[in-house]
Amino acid sequence: MSVKTIALVAHDHKKADIVVWAQKNKEALALFKVVATGTTGSLLLEKVGLDITRLQSGPLGGDQQIGALIAEQKLDALFFFWDPMNPVPHDPDVKALLRLCSVWNVPVACNVSSADMLVSSPLFLDPNYKPDLPNYDK
Ligand SMILES: O=C(CO)COP(=O)(O)O
């Protein structure tokens, strides 16, 4: 049984949302090891006081670093408040990250309501719960 690792990421127009969400869920988030992309991580540290491992900023490779954690089976969930209304320069990285969540059966919440449900899910909070790994041999 080990502490779960989660990643928190928000695009610029969603950063206010993730700060409010993290403030609301600060107690629950303290149960996890938290990693975040650079700017999101700085904001969460400053405004919420979360203990966070900061990766690169998204456009500089932060999404890919989180993808690498998924490929190495070192990430238990992704909370990604991505922006459906504004394009980002690293859109291929965003798509790749979301794709890897599906490839590796990693739970991913892309908006406030799904983040609320995931962070309060008894199943996810069960330290013994591990989603099945996919089998691509067939
Ligand atoms: O762009 C991002 C995710 O695609 C987020 O990166 P920042 O947290 O550095 O803004």
Task: Find the length of the chain.
Answer: 138
pLDDT at 4 > cutoff 90: yes
Burial (CB < 10 A; 0-12, 13-18, 19+), residue 72, is exposed
Q: Which residues line ligand 1 (CB under 6 A)?
A: 9, 11, 37-40, 57-59, 62-63, 88, 94
Structural domains present in the chain:
5-120 (3.40.50.1380)
Instruction: Categorize the per-residue pLDDT at 137 as very low, low, confident or very high, splitting at 50, 70 and 90.
Output: confident
How far is residue 48's CA from residue 28's CA, in Å, rounded to a whole number?
13
Residues 34/106, Cβ–Cβ less than 8 Å = no
Which of 136, 66, 72, 68 lies closest to 108, judged by CA?
66
Q: Is the ipTM of this complex over 0.85?
A: yes
91 counts as catalytic: no
Q: Determine the residue of 48, 63, 79, 97 to mutate for testing ligand 1's pocket, defined as the one with the most ligand atoms within 8 A of the Cβ atom.
A: 63
Which segments within 37-124 are labelled E, that is strand?
A: 52-54, 77-81, 108-109
pLDDT at 28 > cutoff 80: yes
Residues 69/5, Cβ–Cβ less than 8 Å = yes
